[in-house]
Structure 1
Amino acid sequence: MVRFWLLVACWFLPLWVQAATITSEFDRNPVALGDPLILRFTADGVVGAEPDFTPLSKDFEIQGRSQSNSFSMVNGVSSVQTVWELTVFPRVTGNVQVPPIAFGIDQSQPLVLQVLDQPAQNTNAGAGAIGADIFVELSAEPQQPYVQQQIIVTQRLLHLAPLQPQASLTHPSIEGGKGNIQQLGKTRNTTLMRDGRNYQVIERRYALYPQQSGDLVLGRTTFEGSLATGNSQFDPFGVAGPRVRRFSEPFTLKIQTQPAGYTGQHWLPAKSISLNAHWDKPADKLKAGEPNGLTLAIVADGLAAEQLPKLELSIPIGVKAYTDQPEFRNESNAQGIVGVRQEKWVLVAPYNGDYALPELKLDWWNSTTGKQETAMLNAVTLRVSGGEAAPAGQLPPASQQPAVSLTEEAAVPSVKPQALADSLLPSNWSVNKKIIMALLFLWVLLTTAWLYWQWKHRKSATTIAKSENTVLPPRNPKIALQALATACKSNQPQAAHDALMNWIEVGLNLRPALISRLREQASPLLQAEIDALGAALYGRGNGAWQGAGLWKAITTFQPAAQKSAKPTTGLAELYPKQ
């Protein structure tokens, strides 16, 4: 057995001692950037080790690799040949050098490949001519946008030859400057006549928002696919045609800074911006103590919802307001993005009266006309009834609470004080003196009674204010409950109402902090006591309010477990109803 292996070793000894000769070549030269080519290495003889193709990665992308071996013997002389074939794509243009590749102690010779920026024009029929009729391009509108203004970027792949469906086209990316980019809608197929030739077009659109002025550079986008040759329909895998890769040219945009003459608080370049308001109940028919929902929305054509600012809503004195996190919604189409920022408020007025919500204004820049404009919501007057009048000092003077229409300011005629006084005097001065004396006596009596009532009410309000100032610190559940107990034991309905509202917010963490939210979870006993408190506050009770029953119901109250809010699946209306 030992002699047999010695004979085999002697037989193959000439192959081992023979130095390998390695040659390298391309299947074609020059080649267009993006077109594949075959780089072939041939070793005549046995190489010392497997080749290391890592140096090629600098200027080439290796997409495929194969190896074949052959053995022959002629006139007693044996030979071995090994061939490595690499499918590569050049990464750069110009004269690209292929460095020597190591095969153990052996090396291949260097090569130089000429890489063209575009395929060479060829009038002959064949795949070469077809390949030259495929290209990718980028365009943008507007050409000189402002910072944060929406730019519509269009990417097109134009081709005359049919393509295999197995293909890829990369998205544009920002290589210089700062910005955000996102695709609008889906990829669409169309046709385009250019230079007298009818191209098939694969088109995508993107919304680009630059974040700083200066140059913004979009890098190359890459198409990679295969041509559908005449016999490709019989190919079960659909890859029979030659592979093609094409690149778009880098695209640079000049981004302008915000115009110097713009005076708005927020920089908002858009095609259009509008403000919308929707009340759950008519603003001029509200009930004291009942919550009313207000939905405010900014609708901007050409801006994303995240770019829109918060609306500064001025709440009138005497009105309690609660708001939740804003909702953002973006509607996109081929023309761009329409952003919607929606804010929901709950307003509660505890006393009768008129409360003026001032107008809302939002300055913005019209990117179509190049001018500053203002979106506006007119002032609104909340007319509240069904309860009791506000205590003295709770509301500002009437001169600070003007009655304003829902659509426009009320027209108030200008009347001089003297003329107004003259109009109120009777035209006949021979009125019976007895009637005048009776009216004067009645006026004195009513004035005295009113002054006495004011004194009693002010004394009671002072006692309540002291109680509130000492037992209702802001965010302490225990002290909030203690304040409620004190108000109930002292039989003070207004103090108990305020303490109950504070406990709902601090102790129960209900949002918004409304008594109606507590009533939903309350037992029948607690519901009855809440109704009794409301009757005492709004003048519907038959006697003095006693707080012992409310405190007993509170001490036996068991809060329901907080349920996590389910995510909404639908979208709110884009333009809220007026």
Structure 2
Amino acid sequence: MRRLLAALLLLGTATTAHAEAQATLDRTSITALDNLMLTLEVDSRSEDRPDFTPLHQDFRILGSKRTLISTHSSSGRDIRTRWQVTLRPRNAGNIEIPSLTLAGQATQPLRVDVSEVSPVLGGQPGAQAFFDSRVDSREVYLDGQLLYTARLYHRNPLPNNIRFYPPHAGTSDVRELGERRRHEGEYRGEPYFITEQQYAIFPDQTGPLIIDGPRLELPGTPDMDAVELQGETLEVEVLEPAYQSTTGIWLPAERLTLEESWTPPENLKPGDRFTRELTLTVTGIPAEKLPQLMPANSDDVYMELQDVSLTESASQFGLVSTRRETISIEPLGAGDFILPPIDLHWWDVGLDRGRHAALPTRQFHVNPPPIMDGLISSAQASATSGSDDQILLNTTQYHILIGLLTLLSLTSSLGWLYTWSKLRKFRADDSAVQMEEEIRRQRKLLLANERAERNTFQALAIACQQNSATLAKARLTEWAQNFWPERTIDSLEAICDAARNQTLDYLVLDLEQQLHDNPELWQGDLLLKTIDTLRRRRQNSMVADTAQDGYLQAS
């Protein structure tokens, strides 16, 4: 019994030692302007976020990230949990990083030396040079625009070899707006040269957003040491989207306009083409985030996206993006046609409410093709030809009159039979023409669907090759909508139901997990290979069906 208790005690001790949490630093000596990377790691899977409260006294927490590391060996599968925390010291000196708890295990305390920075170079107001950075709001919507203005105050003109680095906001997109402005002004009554640059920041995650200030570097010379200056760190709150549209479009913007330009010809005939140009101009959203404007093809009209132009410019209100689409329109028959309206729901961040932009329905007329009008005219002429033969009544020619009337009746009957035969033939020919038009329309729709599927697959391939999990999710849905047009696909779950492929199910689950945990670590090669396999299977199946149909027709 004692041996059993001893063995259990040793086993528990070994397990505890194996799961012990460790803490490491990327360096142990920094300045007050530097960032420090603290790494916590434990040999087990942990979903709980560590309590970083003990760090707040001496450090600013600029960001944190969790990573699961899986390794395989002969003894089985091992999973480690790693947390990386970016810190900025609040004070100089020898600072202790206290013990933290991860997965129920405590780490060892660590120490780091933080050296002072010269007041002249430290960026404090009143120094030779310092930053004064501001944001236009302390709250911003997800994917919305945050205007960041960086002002550098300096007593002397800047040399030409100065290096100016933009602010950093994690994985958020930071765009430089316009040219750098230089002017003179005052700060608290002191004269300064002012160098000003505006940026647009587009957050890609909700919650607190830490923005590291811009950085200035002046290379050293034999007479002067290198100079480095960094602006203060700002924090804003990134809000969830205010609503979720049925199409999944979320457009938080300052301004939005939707315009069109089109001139359909007056004498349109089936098979003729004309163009329609749609222009979407938005302030506060990058051009690549603007949605497609072209409506879906209908049964009567074939539309093809000929060209897409994306442009961006800077204004006092931020980034101005324009998406211009040139659409080719071909009616597939004759008559009156209606193009559906184009509706866009967007969120006005200035008024903080939803708004709606739309283009109304458009109508145009297509003339029918020329037909054999001569048939009807000849029939009418034959039916009335007897009226030209006026017979004078004569009592002595009564029998001749009866004979002529009989002849006239026979002639009219033959003319009617001839006209009926011609009209029947014309109707048969017209039915054949309509059938050919229907076959032609179906072929065009099939070609349009194949073209759309091919284009969306190429976009998906680019996203997978770039290992962009967020972009791959959107492109995968677009591709599936064209690959299975008979289904309603608006989610990854619907894609799995349509595919019925276990490999794709696993890869979609992996994509969703990586989007939630570590989107930057996602690899898209396996997903691309699986999608390509699905496409090849369908192509081979279509070739086999075509060969079988040809064999049956020949037999």
Instruction: Give the TM bin, normalised by the shorter chain.
Output: 0.3 to 0.5
Q: Which has the larger radius of gyration?
A: 1
TM-score, normalised to structure 2's length? 0.46
Q: Which structure dedicates a bigger proportion of its chain to helix?
A: 2
